[in-house]
């Protein structure tokens, strides 16, 4: 935390389990295609160039902060960024990320190497420093993919409906998956540490594919590396947020990972989670599609999420997943104003 970033910033206070003067809000994928200014930048630069060019990453990170009084920025990058220097570079030219040669046996997986991100991914750190210079008063969030999610991408070669190849390897050669998860845990820990050192005040780990495993397999394979990751990040002092998509059946397991805040998708009842995990700090979890409805419905449902969040030890308002590209910025204005107008129930 820098001297220009007050410890009383609503986001940081809420992540400590305190009750700030206003409910903090930031939005997953808040720098993205729903903003015309973002689309203008994309007309002259590819997604890969945005992620790897500090000046461009800084610009698109700042765009939503210029429009709205959001309580945090999140550095523009991608969860797959740390994989290229490890020996697995994804191609984003066709939209969805694809790996030319998926890693599906011992020899292919053995090619992965843990690297120093300060040498190989310095453009991420430089983008963070640029944002901090431009916007020192606003906490900046760094992020990375969870080991399970990154492993699934590597073995499958991209996204998938059923992750057939990844799950087949897990069921036939579980020791290879365990080794892969350990390697990825080491890399993710270094990547997040670099982001905190560069100026991020909090970090979020995205387990985007948590729902592909049976809860028992999630506890066996995904939880141990998550615990190690959170333990390694704890000395950095930055609050640790864990987001799990489809984690409704894994709440107790996710809490056991040791994050400071659990971010829930919209399929989880926020009030139910607060009751099941008293004393926990929660984040979320408005369905992103609510922003396509009427303004009155958006206000009503936003207020309901805030009231449910009142039952948690601390609450950071967010969507239950990333904002959709077709979202109107006007709806985001209504959302931010409604969240900031909420007052904590006694």
Active site residues: 29, 33, 42, 78, 153
CA distance 335 to 339: 6
The tokens for 239 are 């609050």
Q: Which helix (H) or strand (E) holds 98?
A: strand 98-99
Closest CA to 84 of 48, 56, 55, 60: 48
DSSP 84: T
Q: Which helix (H) or strand (E) holds 60?
A: helix 54-67
Closest CA to 19 of 316, 338, 336, 339: 316
Residue 130 has, within 13 A of its CA and on its CB side, a CA count of: 18
122: helix, coil or strand? helix
Query: Whole-angstrom distance between the N-terminal and C-terminal Cα of the chain?
Result: 31
CA distance 81 to 77: 7
DSSP 25: B
CA distance 141 to 134: 15
322: helix, coil or strand? coil
Closest CA to 322 of 274, 277, 263: 263
CA distance 120 to 189: 15
CA distance 43 to 155: 32
CA distance 116 to 247: 31
Q: Quote the strand ranges of 208-340, DSSP E.
A: 240-244, 261-264, 281-286, 314-319
């Amino acid at each position: 935390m820098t001297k220009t970033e007050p410890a009383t910033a609503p986001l940081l206070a809420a992540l400590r389990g305190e009750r700030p003067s206003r409910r903090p809000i930031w939005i997953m994928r808040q720098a993205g295609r729903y903003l015309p200014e973002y689309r203008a930048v994309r007309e002259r630069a590819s997604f890969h160039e945005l992620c790897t060019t500090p000046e461009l990453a800084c610009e698109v990170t700042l765009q939503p902060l210029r429009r709205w009084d959001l309580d945090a920025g999140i550095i523009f990058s991608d969860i797959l960024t740390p994989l290229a220097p490890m020996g697995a570079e994804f191609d984003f030219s066709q939209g969805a990320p694809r790996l030319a040669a998926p890693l599906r046996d011992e020899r292919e997986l053995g090619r992965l190497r843990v690297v120093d991100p300060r040498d190989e991914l310095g453009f991420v750190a430089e983008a963070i420093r640029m944002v901090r210079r431009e916007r020192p008063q606003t906490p900046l969030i760094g992020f990375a993919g969870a080991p399970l999610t990154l492993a699934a991408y590597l073995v499958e070669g991209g996204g998938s409906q059923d992750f057939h190849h990844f799950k087949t390897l897990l069921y036939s050669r579980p020791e290879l998956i365990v080794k892969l998860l350990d390697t990825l845990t080491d890399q993710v820990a270094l990547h997040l540490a670099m982001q905190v050192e560069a100026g991020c005040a909090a970090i979020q780990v995205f387990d985007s594919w948590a729902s592909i495993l049976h809860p028992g397999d999630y506890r066996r394979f995904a939880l141990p590396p998550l615990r190690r990751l959170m333990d390694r990040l704890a000395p950095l002092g930055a609050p640790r947020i864990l987001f799990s998509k489809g984690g409704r059946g894994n709440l107790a397991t996710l809490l056991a990972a040791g994050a400071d805040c659990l971010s829930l998708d919209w399929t989880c009842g926020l009030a139910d989670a607060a009751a099941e995990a008293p004393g926990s700090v929660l984040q979320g979890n408005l369905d992103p599609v609510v922003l396509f409805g009427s303004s009155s419905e958006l206000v009503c449902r936003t207020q309901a999420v805030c009231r449910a969040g009142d039952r948690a030890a601390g609450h950071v308002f967010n969507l239950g997943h990333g904002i959709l590209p077709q979202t109107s910025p006007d709806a985001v204005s209504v959302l931010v104003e409604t969240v900031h107008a909420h007052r904590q129930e006694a």
